Structure 1
Amino acid sequence: MWILWLIAVLCVIYYVIIVAYSGLSTSFSIIWLLLAACCILFGVGWDAYLKQKDKVPLWIPVSVVTICCTGILVFTIVEILVFTGVAVRDTSKLDYVIVLGARVKEDGISKSLKNRLDKAIDYLDENPGTILVLSGAKGEDEPVSEAEAMRDYLVFNGVKETQLILEARSYSTVENIAYSRVAIEEDQERKKVESQESPIMMDPGTYEEVPDKPIKIGVLTSDFHVFRAQQIARKWGIPDIYGISCKSDPVLFVHFCVRECVAILKDKLVGNM
Protein backbone atom coordinates (compact mmCIF):
# COMPACT_ATOMS: atom_id res chain seq x y z
CA MET A 1 0.00 0.00 0.00
CA TRP A 2 1.32 3.42 -0.95
CA ILE A 3 0.34 4.89 2.42
CA LEU A 4 2.79 2.55 4.20
CA TRP A 5 5.62 3.54 1.89
CA LEU A 6 4.82 7.20 2.46
CA ILE A 7 4.87 6.74 6.25
CA ALA A 8 8.21 4.91 5.97
CA VAL A 9 9.73 7.79 4.00
CA LEU A 10 8.38 10.35 6.50
CA CYS A 11 9.82 8.35 9.41
CA VAL A 12 13.28 8.30 7.81
CA ILE A 13 13.09 12.03 7.03
CA TYR A 14 12.03 12.80 10.61
CA TYR A 15 14.87 10.66 11.96
CA VAL A 16 17.38 12.66 9.92
CA ILE A 17 15.82 15.91 11.10
CA ILE A 18 15.94 15.11 14.83
CA VAL A 19 19.48 13.74 14.62
CA ALA A 20 20.71 16.83 12.73
CA TYR A 21 18.74 19.13 15.02
CA SER A 22 19.65 17.70 18.42
CA GLY A 23 22.17 14.91 18.01
CA LEU A 24 19.90 12.19 19.45
CA SER A 25 21.26 9.45 17.18
CA THR A 26 22.25 7.18 20.08
CA SER A 27 19.01 7.42 22.01
CA PHE A 28 15.39 6.53 21.47
CA SER A 29 15.43 8.19 18.04
CA ILE A 30 16.30 4.84 16.45
CA ILE A 31 12.60 4.00 16.87
CA TRP A 32 11.89 6.02 13.72
CA LEU A 33 14.07 3.78 11.61
CA LEU A 34 12.39 0.73 13.15
CA LEU A 35 8.97 2.18 12.33
CA ALA A 36 10.10 2.82 8.77
CA ALA A 37 11.33 -0.78 8.48
CA CYS A 38 8.03 -2.09 9.87
CA CYS A 39 6.05 -0.05 7.35
CA ILE A 40 8.18 -1.36 4.48
CA LEU A 41 7.81 -4.92 5.75
CA PHE A 42 4.06 -4.59 6.08
CA GLY A 43 3.83 -3.02 2.63
CA VAL A 44 5.79 -5.86 1.01
CA GLY A 45 3.78 -8.42 2.97
CA TRP A 46 0.49 -6.83 1.95
CA ASP A 47 1.42 -6.85 -1.72
CA ALA A 48 2.46 -10.51 -1.45
CA TYR A 49 -0.81 -11.35 0.32
CA LEU A 50 -2.91 -9.72 -2.40
CA LYS A 51 -1.09 -11.68 -5.08
CA GLN A 52 -1.47 -15.03 -3.29
CA LYS A 53 -4.55 -14.45 -1.17
CA ASP A 54 -5.88 -17.96 -1.69
CA LYS A 55 -2.69 -19.57 -0.35
CA VAL A 56 -2.41 -17.50 2.86
CA PRO A 57 -4.46 -18.54 5.93
CA LEU A 58 -6.97 -15.87 6.90
CA TRP A 59 -5.74 -15.75 10.51
CA ILE A 60 -2.39 -14.27 9.44
CA PRO A 61 -3.65 -10.97 7.92
CA VAL A 62 -6.35 -10.74 10.61
CA SER A 63 -3.71 -11.09 13.36
CA VAL A 64 -1.43 -8.51 11.77
CA VAL A 65 -4.23 -5.98 11.31
CA THR A 66 -5.47 -6.59 14.87
CA ILE A 67 -2.01 -6.04 16.35
CA CYS A 68 -1.52 -2.84 14.36
CA CYS A 69 -4.93 -1.46 15.29
CA THR A 70 -4.39 -2.34 18.95
CA GLY A 71 -1.06 -0.51 18.95
CA ILE A 72 -2.60 2.58 17.37
CA LEU A 73 -5.50 2.48 19.86
CA VAL A 74 -3.18 2.16 22.87
CA PHE A 75 -1.01 5.02 21.62
CA THR A 76 -4.07 7.23 21.08
CA ILE A 77 -5.47 6.52 24.56
CA VAL A 78 -2.11 7.20 26.24
CA GLU A 79 -1.66 10.49 24.40
CA ILE A 80 -5.19 11.57 25.35
CA LEU A 81 -4.32 10.86 28.99
CA VAL A 82 -1.05 12.76 28.65
CA PHE A 83 -2.65 15.96 27.40
CA THR A 84 -6.10 15.88 29.01
CA GLY A 85 -5.49 13.86 32.18
CA VAL A 86 -3.79 16.73 33.99
CA ALA A 87 -6.53 18.67 35.70
CA VAL A 88 -6.34 22.44 35.68
CA ARG A 89 -5.60 23.46 39.26
CA ASP A 90 -4.50 26.60 41.03
CA THR A 91 -0.74 26.13 41.33
CA SER A 92 0.00 29.42 43.05
CA LYS A 93 1.81 29.68 46.39
CA LEU A 94 3.17 26.16 46.49
CA ASP A 95 5.73 25.46 49.21
CA TYR A 96 8.02 23.44 46.97
CA VAL A 97 8.25 22.89 43.22
CA ILE A 98 10.34 19.97 41.93
CA VAL A 99 11.99 20.98 38.66
CA LEU A 100 12.88 17.87 36.68
CA GLY A 101 16.22 17.89 34.92
CA ALA A 102 16.97 17.34 31.26
CA ARG A 103 20.06 16.92 29.12
CA VAL A 104 23.08 19.14 29.76
CA LYS A 105 25.45 19.56 26.80
CA GLU A 106 29.12 20.47 26.77
CA ASP A 107 28.22 23.94 25.48
CA GLY A 108 25.29 24.53 27.83
CA ILE A 109 21.83 23.34 28.76
CA SER A 110 19.43 21.80 26.26
CA LYS A 111 16.39 23.64 24.93
CA SER A 112 14.07 21.39 26.94
CA LEU A 113 15.86 22.26 30.17
CA LYS A 114 15.96 25.96 29.31
CA ASN A 115 12.19 25.95 28.77
CA ARG A 116 11.69 24.36 32.19
CA LEU A 117 13.99 26.82 33.92
CA ASP A 118 12.43 29.85 32.24
CA LYS A 119 9.06 28.60 33.43
CA ALA A 120 10.49 28.20 36.94
CA ILE A 121 11.76 31.79 36.87
CA ASP A 122 8.34 33.05 35.79
CA TYR A 123 6.74 31.02 38.58
CA LEU A 124 9.08 32.47 41.22
CA ASP A 125 8.35 35.99 40.01
CA GLU A 126 4.69 35.40 40.91
CA ASN A 127 5.36 33.18 43.94
CA PRO A 128 8.55 34.43 45.65
CA GLY A 129 8.00 32.26 48.73
CA THR A 130 8.33 28.97 46.85
CA ILE A 131 11.42 26.76 47.13
CA LEU A 132 12.66 25.02 43.98
CA VAL A 133 14.03 21.48 44.21
CA LEU A 134 16.40 21.04 41.25
CA SER A 135 16.54 17.34 40.44
CA GLY A 136 18.99 15.54 38.18
CA ALA A 137 22.32 13.70 38.42
CA LYS A 138 25.36 13.87 36.13
CA GLY A 139 25.08 11.56 33.15
CA GLU A 140 28.08 9.92 31.51
CA ASP A 141 28.03 12.43 28.64
CA GLU A 142 27.26 15.49 30.75
CA PRO A 143 29.92 17.94 32.03
CA VAL A 144 28.12 18.62 35.33
CA SER A 145 25.04 17.34 37.10
CA GLU A 146 21.71 18.60 35.80
CA ALA A 147 20.97 20.03 39.25
CA GLU A 148 24.17 22.09 39.22
CA ALA A 149 23.54 23.32 35.69
CA MET A 150 20.02 24.36 36.68
CA ARG A 151 21.31 26.21 39.74
CA ASP A 152 23.90 28.10 37.72
CA TYR A 153 21.32 29.16 35.14
CA LEU A 154 18.79 30.28 37.75
CA VAL A 155 21.33 32.18 39.85
CA PHE A 156 22.68 33.87 36.73
CA ASN A 157 19.10 35.01 36.01
CA GLY A 158 18.57 36.51 39.44
CA VAL A 159 17.17 33.66 41.56
CA LYS A 160 18.50 33.57 45.13
CA GLU A 161 20.41 30.44 46.12
CA THR A 162 18.41 30.34 49.35
CA GLN A 163 15.38 29.44 47.21
CA LEU A 164 17.11 26.42 45.70
CA ILE A 165 17.63 22.86 46.89
CA LEU A 166 19.88 20.62 44.81
CA GLU A 167 19.11 16.93 44.36
CA ALA A 168 21.89 15.42 42.26
CA ARG A 169 21.44 11.66 42.77
CA SER A 170 18.59 10.82 40.38
CA TYR A 171 18.91 9.27 36.92
CA SER A 172 15.21 8.71 36.12
CA THR A 173 11.83 10.29 36.74
CA VAL A 174 11.14 7.79 39.53
CA GLU A 175 14.41 8.72 41.25
CA ASN A 176 13.72 12.42 40.60
CA ILE A 177 10.53 12.17 42.62
CA ALA A 178 11.81 9.82 45.32
CA TYR A 179 15.02 11.73 46.08
CA SER A 180 13.29 15.11 45.81
CA ARG A 181 10.75 13.97 48.37
CA VAL A 182 13.63 13.06 50.72
CA ALA A 183 15.23 16.47 50.12
CA ILE A 184 11.97 18.22 50.96
CA GLU A 185 11.54 16.19 54.15
CA GLU A 186 15.12 17.02 55.19
CA ASP A 187 14.48 20.72 54.55
CA GLN A 188 11.33 20.56 56.66
CA GLU A 189 13.22 18.92 59.52
CA ARG A 190 15.95 21.56 59.30
CA LYS A 191 13.38 24.35 59.50
CA LYS A 192 11.76 22.71 62.54
CA VAL A 193 15.11 22.54 64.34
CA GLU A 194 15.85 26.18 63.50
CA SER A 195 12.45 27.29 64.77
CA GLN A 196 12.98 25.41 68.04
CA GLU A 197 16.40 26.98 68.48
CA SER A 198 14.97 30.47 67.91
CA PRO A 199 11.52 30.45 69.55
CA ILE A 200 9.26 33.47 69.38
CA MET A 201 8.72 34.75 72.92
CA MET A 202 5.13 35.63 73.76
CA ASP A 203 3.21 36.28 76.96
CA PRO A 204 1.30 33.29 78.36
CA GLY A 205 -2.26 33.07 77.14
CA THR A 206 -1.70 35.26 74.07
CA TYR A 207 -1.48 32.42 71.58
CA GLU A 208 -2.85 28.98 70.84
CA GLU A 209 -1.33 26.00 69.09
CA VAL A 210 -2.59 25.20 65.61
CA PRO A 211 -1.97 22.03 63.64
CA ASP A 212 0.88 22.02 61.12
CA LYS A 213 -0.21 23.21 57.71
CA PRO A 214 0.28 20.47 55.09
CA ILE A 215 2.93 21.44 52.59
CA LYS A 216 1.96 21.88 48.96
CA ILE A 217 4.30 20.35 46.41
CA GLY A 218 4.36 20.76 42.65
CA VAL A 219 6.36 19.25 39.83
CA LEU A 220 7.50 21.33 36.87
CA THR A 221 8.42 19.65 33.61
CA SER A 222 7.66 19.65 29.88
CA ASP A 223 4.01 19.45 28.81
CA PHE A 224 4.25 15.86 27.52
CA HIS A 225 5.93 14.72 30.76
CA VAL A 226 3.61 16.18 33.43
CA PHE A 227 1.12 13.30 33.46
CA ARG A 228 3.75 10.61 34.09
CA ALA A 229 5.56 12.73 36.67
CA GLN A 230 2.32 13.25 38.60
CA GLN A 231 1.38 9.58 38.48
CA ILE A 232 4.82 8.56 39.70
CA ALA A 233 4.67 11.14 42.49
CA ARG A 234 1.32 9.79 43.69
CA LYS A 235 2.77 6.28 43.68
CA TRP A 236 5.90 7.33 45.57
CA GLY A 237 4.46 9.24 48.48
CA ILE A 238 3.25 12.63 47.20
CA PRO A 239 -0.48 12.00 46.72
CA ASP A 240 -1.55 15.63 46.24
CA ILE A 241 0.96 16.72 43.63
CA TYR A 242 0.43 19.82 41.49
CA GLY A 243 1.52 19.73 37.86
CA ILE A 244 3.15 22.73 36.18
CA SER A 245 3.88 22.37 32.49
CA CYS A 246 6.11 24.28 30.13
CA LYS A 247 6.24 24.23 26.35
CA SER A 248 8.32 21.61 24.59
CA ASP A 249 10.52 21.89 21.52
CA PRO A 250 8.19 21.95 18.47
CA VAL A 251 10.68 20.08 16.25
CA LEU A 252 11.06 17.22 18.75
CA PHE A 253 7.46 17.25 19.98
CA VAL A 254 6.30 14.16 18.04
CA HIS A 255 9.45 12.28 19.02
CA PHE A 256 8.91 13.12 22.71
CA CYS A 257 5.27 12.02 22.54
CA VAL A 258 6.19 8.62 21.12
CA ARG A 259 8.98 8.19 23.68
CA GLU A 260 6.66 9.23 26.51
CA CYS A 261 4.05 6.68 25.46
CA VAL A 262 6.63 3.89 25.70
CA ALA A 263 7.86 5.23 29.06
CA ILE A 264 4.33 5.36 30.49
CA LEU A 265 3.60 1.78 29.45
CA LYS A 266 6.93 0.61 30.89
CA ASP A 267 6.44 2.44 34.22
CA LYS A 268 2.91 1.07 34.49
CA LEU A 269 4.07 -2.49 33.86
CA VAL A 270 6.91 -2.36 36.41
CA GLY A 271 4.75 -0.68 39.07
CA ASN A 272 6.29 2.80 39.08
CA MET A 273 2.91 4.44 38.56
Structure 2
Amino acid sequence: MRTFLKKHFKKLIYLSITFLLIIVSINFYIVQVTKEYIQTDYTKLPNVDAIIVLGAKVHEDRLSYVLESRLVGGINCMLQNKANAILLSGDHGQKNYDEVNSMRKYILRRKFPIRKEQIFMDHAGFDTYDSMYRALHIFGIKSAIIVTQDFHINRSVYIARSLGIKAYGLAIDESMYKYHLQLNWKIREYVTRVKAFKDVLINAQPTFLGEKIPISGNGLKSWDTIKSVKK
Protein backbone atom coordinates (compact mmCIF):
# COMPACT_ATOMS: atom_id res chain seq x y z
CA MET A 1 0.00 0.00 0.00
CA ARG A 2 2.81 2.42 0.93
CA THR A 3 4.61 1.63 -2.35
CA PHE A 4 1.45 2.33 -4.30
CA LEU A 5 0.94 5.68 -2.52
CA LYS A 6 4.55 6.71 -3.13
CA LYS A 7 4.32 5.80 -6.79
CA HIS A 8 0.99 7.52 -7.42
CA PHE A 9 1.17 10.34 -4.87
CA LYS A 10 1.31 13.13 -7.47
CA LYS A 11 -1.55 11.63 -9.46
CA LEU A 12 -3.69 11.41 -6.34
CA ILE A 13 -2.92 15.04 -5.51
CA TYR A 14 -3.82 16.17 -9.04
CA LEU A 15 -7.04 14.12 -8.99
CA SER A 16 -8.01 15.57 -5.60
CA ILE A 17 -7.37 19.14 -6.78
CA THR A 18 -9.33 18.51 -10.00
CA PHE A 19 -12.25 17.04 -8.05
CA LEU A 20 -12.24 20.01 -5.67
CA LEU A 21 -12.15 22.48 -8.58
CA ILE A 22 -15.15 20.75 -10.18
CA ILE A 23 -17.16 21.03 -6.96
CA VAL A 24 -16.24 24.70 -6.47
CA SER A 25 -16.96 25.54 -10.13
CA ILE A 26 -20.40 23.90 -10.11
CA ASN A 27 -21.32 25.67 -6.87
CA PHE A 28 -20.13 29.01 -8.23
CA TYR A 29 -22.07 28.50 -11.46
CA ILE A 30 -25.35 27.58 -9.74
CA VAL A 31 -25.18 30.60 -7.44
CA GLN A 32 -24.28 33.00 -10.26
CA VAL A 33 -27.02 31.91 -12.69
CA THR A 34 -29.78 32.09 -10.06
CA LYS A 35 -28.95 35.05 -7.82
CA GLU A 36 -30.89 37.58 -9.92
CA TYR A 37 -34.12 35.62 -9.37
CA ILE A 38 -33.89 35.49 -5.57
CA GLN A 39 -35.33 37.94 -3.05
CA THR A 40 -35.60 38.12 0.73
CA ASP A 41 -38.64 40.43 0.51
CA TYR A 42 -41.73 38.67 -0.86
CA THR A 43 -43.33 41.97 -1.90
CA LYS A 44 -40.64 42.35 -4.59
CA LEU A 45 -41.49 39.04 -6.27
CA PRO A 46 -43.71 38.80 -9.38
CA ASN A 47 -47.08 37.12 -9.72
CA VAL A 48 -46.80 33.44 -10.69
CA ASP A 49 -48.85 30.27 -11.21
CA ALA A 50 -48.05 28.87 -7.76
CA ILE A 51 -46.10 29.20 -4.54
CA ILE A 52 -44.00 26.08 -3.89
CA VAL A 53 -43.09 25.35 -0.27
CA LEU A 54 -40.45 22.65 0.04
CA GLY A 55 -40.77 20.16 2.88
CA ALA A 56 -38.47 19.70 5.86
CA LYS A 57 -38.47 17.78 9.12
CA VAL A 58 -41.70 17.24 11.05
CA HIS A 59 -42.33 15.59 14.41
CA GLU A 60 -45.70 13.87 14.08
CA ASP A 61 -47.88 16.86 13.06
CA ARG A 62 -45.54 19.47 14.53
CA LEU A 63 -43.44 21.40 12.02
CA SER A 64 -39.75 21.95 12.66
CA TYR A 65 -38.79 25.62 12.95
CA VAL A 66 -37.13 25.34 9.54
CA LEU A 67 -40.33 24.12 7.88
CA GLU A 68 -42.58 26.51 9.78
CA SER A 69 -40.46 29.45 8.56
CA ARG A 70 -40.77 28.23 4.97
CA LEU A 71 -44.51 27.74 5.24
CA VAL A 72 -45.11 31.15 6.80
CA GLY A 73 -43.11 32.68 3.93
CA GLY A 74 -45.31 30.86 1.42
CA ILE A 75 -48.48 31.93 3.20
CA ASN A 76 -47.31 35.55 3.15
CA CYS A 77 -46.84 35.28 -0.62
CA MET A 78 -50.38 33.94 -0.96
CA LEU A 79 -51.78 36.73 1.21
CA GLN A 80 -50.01 39.23 -1.07
CA ASN A 81 -51.86 37.61 -4.01
CA LYS A 82 -48.62 36.49 -5.67
CA ALA A 83 -50.40 33.31 -6.82
CA ASN A 84 -53.80 31.60 -6.69
CA ALA A 85 -52.37 28.27 -5.52
CA ILE A 86 -49.84 26.95 -3.04
CA LEU A 87 -48.08 23.61 -3.60
CA LEU A 88 -46.89 21.83 -0.46
CA SER A 89 -44.20 19.43 -1.61
CA GLY A 90 -42.49 17.00 0.72
CA ASP A 91 -41.87 13.48 1.94
CA HIS A 92 -44.93 11.32 2.60
CA GLY A 93 -43.24 8.05 1.78
CA GLN A 94 -44.10 6.33 5.04
CA LYS A 95 -47.35 5.86 6.90
CA ASN A 96 -46.02 7.47 10.08
CA TYR A 97 -44.06 10.32 8.46
CA ASP A 98 -45.96 13.02 6.59
CA GLU A 99 -44.57 16.46 5.81
CA VAL A 100 -47.31 17.55 3.40
CA ASN A 101 -50.36 16.90 5.57
CA SER A 102 -48.57 18.49 8.51
CA MET A 103 -48.21 21.67 6.44
CA ARG A 104 -51.82 21.52 5.28
CA LYS A 105 -53.08 21.12 8.87
CA TYR A 106 -50.95 24.09 9.97
CA ILE A 107 -52.66 26.32 7.40
CA LEU A 108 -56.16 25.12 8.30
CA ARG A 109 -55.66 25.24 12.09
CA ARG A 110 -54.65 28.88 11.94
CA LYS A 111 -57.55 29.80 9.67
CA PHE A 112 -55.51 31.75 7.13
CA PRO A 113 -57.74 33.19 4.38
CA ILE A 114 -56.64 30.54 1.89
CA ARG A 115 -59.35 28.37 0.38
CA LYS A 116 -58.97 24.59 0.61
CA GLU A 117 -59.12 24.25 -3.15
CA GLN A 118 -56.06 26.56 -3.41
CA ILE A 119 -53.94 24.10 -1.41
CA PHE A 120 -52.20 21.46 -3.55
CA MET A 121 -50.22 18.60 -2.05
CA ASP A 122 -47.30 16.72 -3.57
CA HIS A 123 -46.78 13.59 -1.47
CA ALA A 124 -43.74 12.41 -3.46
CA GLY A 125 -41.43 15.41 -3.18
CA PHE A 126 -38.67 13.24 -1.74
CA ASP A 127 -35.93 15.64 -2.73
CA THR A 128 -35.68 19.03 -4.42
CA TYR A 129 -35.27 17.57 -7.91
CA ASP A 130 -38.36 15.35 -7.49
CA SER A 131 -40.36 18.33 -6.23
CA MET A 132 -39.46 20.51 -9.21
CA TYR A 133 -39.87 17.77 -11.81
CA ARG A 134 -43.31 16.88 -10.46
CA ALA A 135 -44.28 20.57 -10.16
CA LEU A 136 -43.81 20.82 -13.92
CA HIS A 137 -45.01 17.41 -15.12
CA ILE A 138 -47.77 16.56 -12.61
CA PHE A 139 -49.08 19.99 -11.65
CA GLY A 140 -48.29 21.83 -14.89
CA ILE A 141 -46.65 24.77 -13.13
CA LYS A 142 -45.02 27.15 -15.61
CA SER A 143 -44.00 29.88 -13.17
CA ALA A 144 -43.43 29.71 -9.42
CA ILE A 145 -42.08 31.31 -6.28
CA ILE A 146 -40.07 28.71 -4.39
CA VAL A 147 -39.82 29.18 -0.63
CA THR A 148 -36.93 27.75 1.36
CA GLN A 149 -33.94 28.83 3.46
CA ASP A 150 -31.08 30.84 2.01
CA PHE A 151 -28.64 27.90 1.90
CA HIS A 152 -31.09 25.88 -0.22
CA ILE A 153 -32.65 28.50 -2.47
CA ASN A 154 -30.07 28.71 -5.29
CA ARG A 155 -30.18 24.96 -5.93
CA SER A 156 -33.99 24.96 -5.89
CA VAL A 157 -34.28 27.81 -8.40
CA TYR A 158 -31.52 26.30 -10.56
CA ILE A 159 -33.30 22.95 -10.85
CA ALA A 160 -36.68 24.54 -11.55
CA ARG A 161 -35.36 26.90 -14.25
CA SER A 162 -33.27 24.13 -15.84
CA LEU A 163 -36.41 22.00 -16.14
CA GLY A 164 -38.40 24.83 -17.73
CA ILE A 165 -40.22 26.52 -14.83
CA LYS A 166 -39.94 30.32 -14.71
CA ALA A 167 -38.92 30.21 -11.07
CA TYR A 168 -38.15 32.85 -8.47
CA GLY A 169 -36.93 32.27 -4.95
CA LEU A 170 -37.94 33.63 -1.58
CA ALA A 171 -34.89 33.10 0.66
CA ILE A 172 -35.90 32.63 4.28
CA ASP A 173 -33.50 34.08 6.84
CA GLU A 174 -31.50 31.42 8.68
CA SER A 175 -29.39 33.69 10.89
CA MET A 176 -31.37 32.73 14.01
CA TYR A 177 -30.04 29.16 13.89
CA LYS A 178 -26.90 28.04 15.67
CA TYR A 179 -23.65 28.52 13.80
CA HIS A 180 -22.83 24.82 13.65
CA LEU A 181 -26.20 24.12 12.02
CA GLN A 182 -25.67 26.80 9.39
CA LEU A 183 -22.16 25.49 8.71
CA ASN A 184 -23.42 21.92 8.38
CA TRP A 185 -26.13 23.02 5.90
CA LYS A 186 -23.63 24.93 3.79
CA ILE A 187 -21.11 22.06 3.66
CA ARG A 188 -23.82 19.57 2.72
CA GLU A 189 -25.17 21.97 0.11
CA TYR A 190 -21.79 22.03 -1.66
CA VAL A 191 -22.25 18.32 -2.37
CA THR A 192 -25.99 18.38 -3.14
CA ARG A 193 -25.51 21.15 -5.72
CA VAL A 194 -23.19 18.81 -7.61
CA LYS A 195 -25.89 16.11 -7.51
CA ALA A 196 -28.46 18.63 -8.76
CA PHE A 197 -26.15 19.60 -11.63
CA LYS A 198 -25.77 15.90 -12.53
CA ASP A 199 -29.54 15.23 -12.31
CA VAL A 200 -30.27 18.13 -14.64
CA LEU A 201 -27.51 17.05 -17.02
CA ILE A 202 -28.81 13.49 -17.41
CA ASN A 203 -32.51 14.47 -17.20
CA ALA A 204 -33.03 12.18 -14.21
CA GLN A 205 -36.50 10.80 -13.52
CA PRO A 206 -38.25 11.30 -10.16
CA THR A 207 -39.12 8.42 -7.82
CA PHE A 208 -42.80 8.70 -8.78
CA LEU A 209 -44.85 10.43 -11.45
CA GLY A 210 -48.57 9.65 -11.68
CA GLU A 211 -51.86 11.29 -12.65
CA LYS A 212 -51.78 14.94 -13.68
CA ILE A 213 -53.40 17.45 -11.29
CA PRO A 214 -53.37 20.88 -13.00
CA ILE A 215 -52.47 23.74 -10.67
CA SER A 216 -55.22 25.76 -12.37
CA GLY A 217 -57.83 23.29 -11.08
CA ASN A 218 -59.02 22.17 -7.66
CA GLY A 219 -56.36 21.40 -5.06
CA LEU A 220 -58.66 18.99 -3.24
CA LYS A 221 -57.91 16.44 -5.97
CA SER A 222 -54.37 16.20 -4.60
CA TRP A 223 -55.46 15.58 -1.02
CA ASP A 224 -54.84 11.98 -0.03
CA THR A 225 -57.26 9.39 1.28
CA ILE A 226 -54.44 6.83 1.36
CA LYS A 227 -51.92 7.55 4.10
CA SER A 228 -48.75 7.30 2.01
CA VAL A 229 -47.56 6.95 -1.55
CA LYS A 230 -45.62 3.77 -0.80
CA LYS A 231 -47.12 0.36 0.03
Computing the radius of gyration from Cα coordinates, the structure with the larger value is 1
Instruction: Return closer, same or farther for 1:242/1:222 CA change in 2, 3 Å cut-off.
Output: same
Whether the 8 Å CA contact 2:149–2:172 is kept in 1: the answer is yes
Name the SS of the counterpart of 2:45 in structure 1: coil
> What is the TM-score normalised by the length of structure 2?
0.66
The aligned residue for residue 168 of structure 2 is 242
The aligned residue for residue 191 of structure 1 is none
The aligned residue for residue 229 of structure 1 is 156
Instruction: Return closer, same or farther for 1:91/1:272 CA change in 2, 3 Å cut-off.
Output: farther
In structure 2, C-alpha distance between the alignment counterparts of 1:157 and 1:99, rounded to whole Å: 17
Question: Aligned to 1:103, which of 30, 52, 57?
Answer: 57
Consecutive unaligned residues in structure 1, runs of 5 or more: 1-44, 50-54, 189-214
Question: Aligned to 1:74, which of 18, 22, 35?
Answer: 22
Does residue 163 (structure 1) correspond to residue 118 (structure 2)? The answer is yes
The aligned residue for residue 198 of structure 2 is 269
Question: Aligned to 1:256, which of 179, 185, 189?
Answer: 185
| Number of equivalences | 190
Output the amino acid matched with 1:97.
I
- Cα offset, 1:83, TM superposition: 4.0
- Cα offset, 1:262, TM superposition: 2.1
- Cα offset, 1:148, TM superposition: 0.8
Question: Aligned to 2:145, which of 218, 221, 233?
Answer: 218
The aligned residue for residue 132 of structure 1 is 86
Q: After superposition, what is the alpha-carbon deviation per residue over 1:35-72, rounded to whole angstroms, capped at 9, x for unaligned?
A: xxxxxxxxxx9xx99xxxxx944xx3322332333343
Consecutive unaligned residues in structure 2, runs of 5 or more: 38-43, 205-231
Whether the 8 Å CA contact 2:45–2:82 is kept in 1: the answer is no
Whether the 8 Å CA contact 2:86–2:119 is kept in 1: the answer is yes
In structure 1, C-alpha distance between the alignment counterparts of 2:68 and 2:136, rounded to whole Å: 23
The aligned residue for residue 172 of structure 1 is 127
Question: 4+ residue stretches of structure 1 with deviation over 4 A?
Answer: none
Higher relative contact order (CA 8 A, sep 6+): 2
Output the amino acid matched with 1:151.
R
Give the % identical residues.
Answer: 24
In structure 1, C-alpha distance between the alignment counterparts of 2:34 and 2:53, rounded to whole Å: 17
The aligned residue for residue 99 of structure 2 is 146
In structure 2, C-alpha distance between the alignment counterparts of 1:254 and 1:92, rounded to whole Å: 31
Name the SS of the counterpart of 1:75 in structure 2: helix
Give the CA RMSD over aligned residues: 3.2
